[in-house]
Amino acid sequence: MGFGRRLLGKDGKPPGEVNVDALSAALDDVPAGFALFDSEDRLVLCNPAFREVFEAADDPIPDGAKYAAIFRGAAVKGRVDGIRRDEESWLDGRIKAHNAGPNRFTMTLRNGRVFEIDERRLPNNSTAMTLLDITDYERREAASSTNEQKARAMLDSVFDGVLTIGADGVIDSVNARTAEIFGRPIEMIIGNTTSLLVPDVTLSDFLASEALGSIREFRGRKADGESLNLEIAVSELPDNWSLQDRRRESRKTFVATIRDVTEQRALARQLQQAQRMDAIGTLAGGIAHDFNNILSIIMGYGGLIQQDLPPGSEARENADMFVQAARRARELVEQILTFSRHSDEQTKVPFDPKPVVKEVLKLIRSTVPATIEIAQEITAHEGRVIGDVSQLHQIIMNLCTNAVHAMGSGPGRLSVSLTEKPLGGADASAWGVNKGDYWHLNVADTGDGIPAEVLDHVFEPFFTTKERGQGTGLGLAVVHGIVTDHGGVVRVESRPGEGAQFHVLLPLASPDKVVDAPAVPAAAPTGNGQILLVDDEELIVRMGQKMLSRLGYIVVGATDAEEALETFRASPESFDLLMTDQTMPGLTGDALIRAVRRIRPALPVVLCTGYSQVMDAEKAKEMGIDAFVMKPLEGDQVGQIVSQVLDARRS
Ligand SMILES: Nc1ncnc2c1ncn2[C@@H]1O[C@H](COP(=O)(O)OP(=O)(O)OP(=O)(O)O)[C@@H](O)[C@H]1O
Ligand SMILES: [Mg+2]
């Protein structure tokens, strides 16, 4: 064997003869395992590190042992992990590889240690084998790859989008949430610049050093073009991280955290709008209340003048015009009151909304140009809405009129659908309503759409973009008022150039809410009896006195509720009915009624109100009030109500 070779020193001079003993003694100290097999695969020489791996304590490897036997021994004794069941084929593979020439493989022992084994043929056909213990290295590798996986999984489960960006704006890694936010697969984001995701923001703006670390709001864009409200915080990764990554040695790396706040912003806008509508409603309602009182007087006196003038005379015609104008004014006030949610509860009945929608569409069809297609979809659901049929009519009419107007004379499509929509907890809160079953009325057009700056105001009363005389801006305000009054909600969706869509949700009636509609009173009958009439407006009292006395009643008027109570107390039995205003300084109508009823519990009472947030038909009913009426009342109505109440009591 060739072990008595000369080894040469650095200077090329032989340092001395090395013999086999000296060499094998040196090998004994090497930490790697080493073995030499001859051309017949017999073990010629091995060191202790080799024995440690292949030799069982009670069964030393004999000199000249065959390669296959050594491996078989290790396999059979179970020193090698994971091959016991399959030992023959493992050995076959091993021996074939060994004979085929240089090869390298790893082998894991049962005790968990991992060896990298290197075999190479020497020129004299013997084989040298080295064993390197790579256990620690393997463990470190495994640990770092688990750490990486953990970090990856952590990033992917974060609620925010996280991405790293080079100073050139190129995105080089993103987490799963980023893909979700922007609706693009991860591979389609990596390699692009940030302008793919936030198109309106320049790179220098995006990575502006003074803004690093603070949260800023940007508009983002999804793959489908939809716009997003994003809160983005950008920070710079520490230098040492950048240095570790050889590919980007001298480059800065930024990490951006992206939160999608689109929904929150939309909700906040809705809330703001709702609050603004509330404030406007209160204001408009208050004004309408005062107008109501004035209109009561104008219409009342106008009616009296009308009656006194001979029909056909010029003066009568003038009076007719006067009353007609006052009636128009009242219609306007009524619209404002509708908007400020003070409709008369008594007119609400359960009804089927389907025929109403069909009827309006028929009406619309006959008036819009043929270039506009009308599509309708109505589901066969039987649910009813509690409300006012004419008001639903008004909602659909107003929405369709706007839609048709937006499409002009050009080709277009008006789509109206009425479908049932059960709303669970999350959906309901997204719509801002209680959970339950709803009718969903959807009116969509293909017009010019509504610009963002207009969108926030469309429901405000008197907001219009139409020319003077073309629109009053009350259409959508009334829709909003009616829908809210019916316990529903109205929403608009629009992008300029893409038409507008209005969604109305109206709650379905629950069966126990079903009540009868009140009967409409007939002509104004005469009557008799003494009436106590109280209103803080002197003109209203005087007018009521005149109207009722014409019908045969004796009317005692009072403009101060406390005084009226004194008058009543002086002779409670002489009165047949109390008719009082609700909103008065000092004693309110309901308080006066309670005081009077303590003296005469069965006294018939009528409560009038213009605009009041504390009193409504339901409360009035609870209090046992005979009639609750909204001002202004025309001459006929006062008489009708008084006689109705008295008749009902007498029969
Ligand atoms: N379908 C729509 N498409 C585009 N813009 C609309 C649409 N519906 C409403 N708008 C906008 O909202 C504004 C307010 O509508 P609203 O119905 O309250 O009043 P109007 O139509 O202007 O007047 P009115 O209904 O009192 O005659 C309109 O002037 C218009 O700018
Ligand atoms: Mg309109």
CATH of 31-134, one of 3.40.50.720, 3.90.220.20, 3.30.1510.10, 3.30.450.20: 3.30.450.20
Tens digit of each residue's pLDDT (9 = 90 or more) over 514-555: 343 333 334 567 788 899 999 988 888 888 888 888 788 888
Q: How many percent of the chain have pLDDT more than 70?
A: 88
Ligand lying nearest the CA atom of residue 479: 1
Ligand 2 centroid to residue 631 C-alpha, Å: 27
Ligand lying nearest the CA atom of residue 403: 1
Asked whether 477 lines ligand 1 (CB < 6 A), one says: yes
Q: Which atom of ligand 1 is nearest to the CA of 447?
A: 3
Asked whether 460 lines ligand 1 (CB < 6 A), one says: no
Q: Which of 6-20, 118-132, 355-369 has the highest mean pLDDT?
A: 118-132
Kindly indicate the confidence band of residue 243, based on its pLDDT and cuts at 50, 70 and 90: very low
Ligand lying nearest the CA atom of residue 464: 1
E strands, 562-630, in order: 577-581, 605-609, 627-630
Residue owning the nearest CA to atom 12 of ligand 1? 458
Quick one: DSSP state of residue 58? Answer: T
CATH 3.30.60.50 fits 530-650, yes or no: no
Residue owning the nearest CA to atom 8 of ligand 1? 402
Residue owning the nearest CA to atom 25 of ligand 1? 475
Ligand 2 centroid to residue 468 C-alpha, Å: 13
Ligand 1 centroid to residue 450 C-alpha, Å: 9
- What is the pLDDT averaged over residues 321-326? 87
Contact call for residues 45 and 33 (beta carbons, < 8 A): no
Helix then strand then coil, % of the chain, to nearest 5: 45, 25, 35
Asked whether 445 lines ligand 1 (CB < 6 A), one says: yes
pLDDT of residue 518: 38
pTM score of the predicted model: 0.48
Q: How many percent of the chain have pLDDT more than 90?
A: 30
Ligand lying nearest the CA atom of residue 476: 1
Asked whether 495 lines ligand 1 (CB < 6 A), one says: no
pLDDT of residue 183: 95
Tens digit of each residue's pLDDT (9 = 90 or more) over 123-136: 888 899 999 999 88
Lowest mean pLDDT among 18-32, 342-356, 474-488: 342-356
Ligand 2 centroid to residue 480 C-alpha, Å: 12
Tens digit of each residue's pLDDT (9 = 90 or more) over 589-618: 999 999 999 999 999 999 988 765 566 777
- What is the pLDDT averaged over residues 359-364? 85
CATH of 158-260, one of 3.30.450.20, 3.40.50.620, 3.40.50.720, 3.50.50.60: 3.30.450.20
Note whether 266-339 and 530-650 share their fold: no
How many Cα atoms occupy the beta-carbon half-sphere of 421 within 13 Å? 24
Q: Tokens at residue 186, please?
A: 């991860």
Residue owning the nearest CA to atom 9 of ligand 1? 402
- What is the pLDDT averaged over residues 209-236? 91
What DSSP letter does each residue of 521-578 carry, written as one string? P-S------EEEEE-S-HHHHHHHHHHHHHTT-EEEEES-HHHHHHHHHH-GGG-SEE
CATH H-level superfamily of 349-513? Histidine kinase-like ATPase, C-terminal domain (3.30.565.10)
pLDDT of residue 476: 92
pLDDT of residue 522: 44
Question: Is residue 240 pLDDT above 70, yes or no?
Answer: no
| Alpha-carbon gap, residue 46 to 50, rounded angstroms | 6
pLDDT of residue 213: 84
Tens digit of each residue's pLDDT (9 = 90 or more) over 440-458: 999 999 999 999 889 989 9
Question: Is residue 81 pLDDT above 90, yes or no?
Answer: no
Q: Which residues are within 5 Å of ligand 2 (an ion), measured at CB? A: 402, 475
| Alpha-carbon gap, residue 575 to 597, rounded angstroms | 12
Neighbouring residues of 255: CB distance < 8 A, sequence distance ≥ 6: 162, 163, 164, 165, 234, 235, 236, 237
Top pLDDT among 25 and 374 is at 374
Q: Pseudo-torsion of CA 198, 204, 205, 209, nearest 10°?
A: 130
pLDDT of residue 332: 79
Tens digit of each residue's pLDDT (9 = 90 or more) over 164-188: 998 888 998 999 999 999 999 999 9
Asked whether 461 lines ligand 1 (CB < 6 A), one says: no
Q: Which atom of ligand 1 is nearest to the CA of 459?
A: 18
- What is the pLDDT averaged over residues 560-578? 92
Domain boundaries, the chain: 1-26, 31-134, 158-260, 266-339, 349-513, 530-650
- What is the pLDDT averaged over residues 344-358? 79
Q: Which of 89-103, 342-356, 384-398, 567-581 has the highest mean pLDDT?
A: 567-581
CATH topology of domain 266-339: Helix Hairpins (1.10.287)
Quick one: DSSP state of residue 626? Answer: S
Question: Is residue 408 pLDDT above 80, yes or no?
Answer: yes
pLDDT of residue 4: 41
